[in-house]
Structure 1
Amino acid sequence: MSDPALETLLLPLETEAVELAPGAKVLFLRARAGRELAALQDQETLCVQSFAPDRDALVKAGFRVEAETDEDGFDAVLLLPGRQRQEARAQLAKAVSSAREGGLVIACAPNTEGAKTLESDLADLMGGSEKLSKNKCRVVWHRVAADALNRELLEDWRALDAPRPVLEGSYISRPGIFAWDRIDPASKLLAGLLPETLKGRGADLGTGFGYLARAVLQKAPKLTTLDLYEAEKRALDLAEQNLAAFKGQKPLTGIWSDVTKGIDGPYDFIVSNPPFHQAGRAERSDVGQGFIRAAAAGLRPGGDFYMVANRHLPYEKTLGEVFATVIQLADEGGYKVIRAVKAKGGR
């Protein structure tokens, strides 16, 4: 699958608009894998990625990957910022802070996802910026000069995506997480329809900051254990914090992984509000279909799968292929809630 932002990010190096000496120390924030990374083959590169599918692809490509880092003094810092503005500014400030004096900061965003703002933000922080455009994206860069940095802005922006109380203090969350400062209406609809009869070993696929898992823990006294699957480690860390009060009552396990690659099991029940976006704005129904197949494989025979999705997403065919019974429990507010039961024969 093509990645226009990644391809454009490496343009300054490929066109020799900027140069890096062989063996340069490079940090790549929100890194993604792709053939374009061949431009970094002679460098000492550390990739920072807290999203499990991208982490896995980078590891497979042979890169050193960390969920986060406090290292600094890099000769160059590359960044593919998130779409949420507070998170993107915090990431940009992190990039600038991680580069040495004279080091390069290079960042790229699609034109429809804040490229113009990224250019002005970089200039505000560093005292200037240069740019190239291609693939409907814009890459911007500048070298760090201590006397040109806006240090007050730098410190303010570094704190923009810090964890904080939300929803009148009932949860801790942070910008950049899905529905970070609100209860997602789809999850709320599903939570209201979960039966109190849920029992045994359960899992929440795509747990986010823990809203749906908390609903299960509050509603199902016969639950014995609950596993929390989440691809974004920043969200998983929040979920574990938000569910800490239940740790002494029920065994809870956070699992940082790509659900579409499979889950542990067998589970007696699984709940999920599957994501349908990854990098970029395009809908990815294949991700939700991967969640459905993983849930079916991870349930015991006769186990229940409760899911919610946007009404228009094409999940029924996949559900019918891997579950014996598929029942729509609700269709309201643009969302559908489905209960699927795995065949007792194992289908």
Structure 2
Amino acid sequence: MPAAPHDAALDALMMPFKTGQIDWSGPVLFLRARVGAVLPGLGADGLVVTQPFFPEAQRLQRLGLTWQDEDALPAAAFARVLVLPPRQREEARALLARACQAVAADGVVVCAAANDEGGRAREADLQRLAGAIQSIGKHHCRVCWTVPGARFDPGLLSDWVQADAPRQVESPAVPGGAFLTRPGVFAWDRVDPASALLAQALPTGLSGRVADFGAGWGYLALQVLARCSGVTTLELFEADARALALAERNLAAAARARGVTVHTHWHDVTAGVAAGFDAIVCNPPFHALGRGERPEIGRAFIRAAAQALRQGGELWLVANRHLPYEEALGQGFGQVRCLLQQDGYKVVQAVKA
């Protein structure tokens, strides 16, 4: 097995345990857990994890860890609650609030974030929730933790959990005029301009079994339902469980009205998708959990699409103009046309020979 990649925030999170400032006692809840050089050494006994990002959740499950839905955590049940918060403020605050609700009365909440991903802000947030905290800096990260028996601000806990709750956003760009969303999912408060450009270019003649790779909260799938009367089955593939749950709700009414069967898959498209689609629409991600660009993810989406389409099936793809996808498209498809370049994006139609 290859060595786990270095994860500075995970390593920093473990520092108070290594130095003896906090003892390791269970049961332990780890919110947004990630596999790194440290985590496999913790063992699976009494360790419960949450992780909505499918590739990382799979790695955690291979270690034998117990996975938990972080929107349904038991109250006051864990002696230690570890948190690797995301960058988005409302989502991060909600996660910290859930951590404080889940920790036992004499337990400890421990949080770590990189300095350039809001480490200081998360330290201030935990202090607002818990009052007195302790903190250290390590690996260009901030690590902070509550004292045993901390009294959390009940009003702030409630407000911050609700700040992350699904809510309606009105938009004339969406069929029906509004969509359900929540902080932290991709383009959570708007229609992504790249996806909007692809939607404008989609032909009305798409039919049969259609997939949306990287479906997010369901914008492109909604457009397919609204524009393409010949579609009989629509399948959504998305690695973010939070976004996928929103997509299911966003598509439910339109799918019933059209009589279209919709299937959703919490899945890593880069691992491949079963074949048999007549068309695939796709705005592939080019980031994972980190910040750096990852064009190899988009290339893997293109390869998966080429394998999943039937002969003569079409891929409709939008991407940032600078991303190097042409070679992957040329290898997987018999015909490739760049239909549109606008506002830094390109729309491509590719047909499987």
Q: Could you say which TM-score interval applies, normalised by the shorter chain?
A: over 0.9
Tell me the CA shift for residue 81 of structure 1: 0.8
Picking from 287, 294, 300, the partner of 2:297 is 287
Structure 1 partner of 2:53: 51
Q: CA separation in 2, counterparts of 1:282 and 1:102?
A: 39
Tell me the CA shift for residue 39 of structure 1: 4.6
Q: CA separation in 1, counterparts of 2:232 and 2:181?
A: 26
User: 1:138 aligned to 2:172?
Assistant: no
Query: SS state of the match for residue 122, structure 2?
Result: helix
Picking from 119, 130, 133, the partner of 1:126 is 130
RMSD over equivalenced CA pairs, Å:
1.4
Structure 1 partner of 2:284: 274
User: 1:251 aligned to 2:261?
Assistant: yes
Structure 1 partner of 2:219: 211
Structure 1 partner of 2:30: 28
Q: CA separation in 2, counterparts of 1:330 and 1:144?
A: 59
Q: CA separation in 2, counterparts of 1:42 and 1:75?
A: 15
Structure 2 partner of 1:4: 8
Runs of 5+ in structure 1 lacking a partner? none
- Please tell me whether the aligned partners of residues 173 and 209 of structure 1 are also in contact (alpha carbons under 8 angstroms): yes
Tell me the CA shift for residue 66 of structure 1: 2.7
Structure 2 partner of 1:108: 112
Tell me the CA shift for residue 43 of structure 1: 4.4
Query: SS state of the match for residue 77, structure 1?
Result: strand
Which deviations, in whole Å up to 9, do the C-alpha atoms of 1:78-136 show, x marking residues without a partner? 11111110000000000111000121111111111100001111111111222222222
- Please tell me whether the aligned partners of residues 167 and 181 of structure 2 are also in contact (alpha carbons under 8 angstroms): yes
Q: CA separation in 1, counterparts of 2:211 and 2:55?
A: 19
- Please tell me whether the aligned partners of residues 44 and 63 of structure 2 are also in contact (alpha carbons under 8 angstroms): no
Tell me the CA shift for residue 295 of structure 1: 0.7
Q: CA separation in 2, counterparts of 1:6 and 1:151?
A: 28
Aligned partner letter, 1:5 = A
- The percentage of counterpart residues that share the same residue type is 47
Aligned partner letter, 1:234 = R
Aligned partner letter, 1:187 = S
Query: SS state of the match for residue 35, structure 1?
Result: coil
Tell me the CA shift for residue 166 of structure 1: 0.5
- Please tell me whether the aligned partners of residues 225 and 255 of structure 2 are also in contact (alpha carbons under 8 angstroms): no
- Please tell me whether the aligned partners of residues 302 and 342 of structure 1 are also in contact (alpha carbons under 8 angstroms): yes
Aligned residues between the structures: 340
Tell me the CA shift for residue 42 of structure 1: 6.8
Q: How does 1:233-252 map to 2 (within 5 A)?
A: 233-248=241-256, 249-252=259-262
Structure 2 partner of 1:160: 163
Q: CA separation in 2, counterparts of 1:177 and 1:323?
A: 31
Query: SS state of the match for residue 13, structure 1?
Result: helix
TM score, norm. by length of structure 2: 0.93
Aligned partner letter, 1:35 = A
Name the stretch that deviates more: 115-124 or 30-39.
Answer: 30-39
Q: CA separation in 2, counterparts of 1:14 and 1:39?
A: 12
Tell me the CA shift for residue 282 of structure 1: 1.0
TM score, norm. by length of structure 1: 0.95
- Please tell me whether the aligned partners of residues 310 and 336 of structure 1 are also in contact (alpha carbons under 8 angstroms): yes
